[in-house]
Amino acid sequence: MTALQTAMRSQPAPAIDILRIRADFPILELEVGGKPLVYLDNAASSQMPRQVIERLVTYQTTQHANINRGVHYLSETATAEYEEARRKIQRFINAREDREVIFSSGTTDAINLVAHGYGRKFIGAGDEIILTTLEHHSNIVPWQMVAEEKGAAIRVVPVDDTGELSIDAYEKLFTPRTKFVGVSHVSNALGTVNPVKRMIAFAHARGVPVLIDGAQAVPHMAIDVQDLDCDFYAFSGHKMCGPTGIGILYGKAALLERMQPYKGGGDMILSVTFEKTTYNAIPHFFEAGTPPIAAAIGLGAAVDYMSAIGMDAIAAHEHDLLDYATEQMRRMPGVRIIGTAPHKAAVLSFAIDGVHPHDVGTLLNTEGVAVRTGHHCAQPVMQRFGVPATSRASFAVYNTMSEVDALIAGIRTVQKVFT
């Protein structure tokens, strides 16, 4: 962290101008079934501000061509804009170098890149991979594929009844065969913020690299990959006001350079003959084929947008929303909050006695309130808490206290229908 960043962080976060922010998001003006849209499904995918939409239009109408190929004006412009987006993201997460920022199609793709590029090369028979109960399926299945192929084993960090990881148990899982750790920064199902910095330090003391699934963290808090000292950090554009189809894998250059290629094709090579192919350097080594150029540039604009508001201001606002919603829900008879860890971000999972989450979701929708219902691609979490599914409200910077009120009123309506 730079001295300036440190100084800025010690200041109280400035209040945000919520009306101005809401005016940036055209979709928030929608009505659903005659009711104003109350969008509380941001953990699944967030909405896009005008600034990002307009950036996509400008790119597509004045700058588009394929990158890294042509010598003509448009190709050079598109290449420059694409690389500028990479540098914006580099600064946003405070990566040391821009070549440590790899464009992927999303968090899932980024984790698969590491499982293939690092896991399949460096994990062997009898080795162990540590994951946690809180992981999204996208940070479980790629590692199961590696483990099955190599004869490695997966060890799982348990959670307590509040949804907090047992750090004691985590530390005891390490053996001389531990070769990799994968952990989410923020749980998408419960909202728990995991103590990843401490977990990384512990793993590093035993020479074990760590991947952080930051899909639910980057949209909600300032991330500094150098301060965390993580080896890999994965996240998705569409959960942070950017487009779908784009995501980021941050990796330490020294590790990325030792990995095997993920996808083969154009752009990731320097020369190809049928006898021998020489590969391009990182990040291009991991970016085979024509990437989603517009989406990458759009993600750059999303980063600009969020930075202009300020990540600390965003975090503070969302914290207020979470605290208020938690407080309201706690007072409601027949409503149980699932995930009550002391340190949470932007996610509120809940169950209503006697009502299946699917019915909750359908009925809230009739009130214009969009929540997610289901297992949230985190079935081990559902099993741990003994529920088939939960209802989940998740917040973004543009949500308001009165939207929390609409959620609470909607829950009362659901309870009334089912009495």
Partner 1 sequence: MADARALYQEVILDHNRKPRNFGTLAHASHQADGHNPLCGDRITVMLDLDGERIAGIAFHGESCAICKASASMMTATVKGKTRGDAETLIGEFREMATGKREPDNLPHIGRLAVFAGVRDLPTRVKCAILPWHTLHAAINSLESTSTEAADDPMHAPIGDA
Ligand X SMILES: Cc1ncc(COP(=O)(O)O)c(C=O)c1O
Residues 198-217: x where in contact with ligand X by CB under 6 A, - otherwise, as a string: ---------------x-xx-
Pairing, β 128-132 against β 153-157: parallel
Number of residues that bind ligand X (CB under 6 A): 15
Backbone φ, ψ for residue 62 (5° rounding)? -135, -5
Pairing, β 269-272 against β 369-370: unpaired
Write the DSSP assignment of 386-413 as a string of letters. Answer: T-S-EEEEE--TT--HHHHHHHHHHHHH
Q: Report if residue 245 touches ligand X, rule: CB under 6 A.
A: no
Q: Tokens at residue 263, please?
A: 């996808």
Residue 362 interacting entry, from partner 1, ligand X, none, C-beta within 5 to 8 Å by type: partner 1
Among 236, 328, 373, 399, binds ligand X (CB under 6 A): 236
Q: Is omega for the bond preceding 283 within 30 degrees of 0, making it cis?
A: yes
Among 90, 188, 394, 415, binds ligand X (CB under 6 A): 188
Write the DSSP assignment of 138-184 as a string of letters. Answer: GGTHHHHHHHHHHT-EEEEE-B-TTS-B-HHHHHHH--TTEEEEEEE
Residues 63-102: x where in contact with ligand X by CB under 6 A, - otherwise, as a string: ----------------------------------------
Q: For residue 73, what is the enclosing H or E element? A: helix 73-93
Question: Cβ closer to partner 1: 328 or 373?
Answer: 373
Q: Report if residue 133 touches ligand X, rule: CB under 6 A.
A: no
Question: Cβ closer to ligand X: 182 or 410?
Answer: 182
Question: Cβ closer to partner 1: 88 or 239?
Answer: 239
Which spans of this chain sit near partner 1 (rule: CB under 8 A)?
Answer: 32-35, 44-45, 355-359, 362-363, 365-366, 373-375, 377, 382, 388-389, 417-418
Which of these ranges, 106-114, 121-129, 222-230, 289-297, lies near ligand X under the rule CB under 6 A?
106-114
Q: Which of residues 246-265 bind ligand X (CB under 6 A)?
A: 247
Q: What's the min distance (Å) between Cβ of 104 and ligand X?
A: 9
Separation of first and last alpha carbons in the chain: 54
Q: Residues 6 or more apart from 29 whose CB is under 8 A from it?
A: none
Q: What's the min distance (Å) between Cβ of 215 and ligand X?
A: 4
Q: What's the min distance (Å) between Cβ of 134 and ligand X?
A: 8
Q: Tokens at residue 401, please?
A: 């206290």
Q: Match 């750059």 to its residue by tokens.
A: 300
Q: For residue 316, what is the enclosing H or E element? A: helix 311-330
Q: What's the min distance (Å) between Cβ of 4 and ligand X?
A: 30
Q: Report if residue 415 touches ligand X, rule: CB under 6 A.
A: no
CA–CA gap between residue 19 and residue 94 (Å, rounded): 30
Catalytic positions are: 377
Question: Cβ closer to ligand X: 139 or 280?
Answer: 139
Q: Residues 6 or more apart from 141 whose CB is under 8 A from it?
A: none
Q: Report if residue 394 touches ligand X, rule: CB under 6 A.
A: no
Which amino acid, residue 165?
A: L
Residues 344-383: x where in contact with ligand X by CB under 6 A, - otherwise, as a string: ---------------------------------x------
Q: Is the dihedral of CA 351, 353, 358, 362 positive or negative?
A: negative
Binding interface with ligand X (CB under 6 A): 43, 106-108, 136, 138-139, 184, 188, 213, 215-216, 236, 247, 377
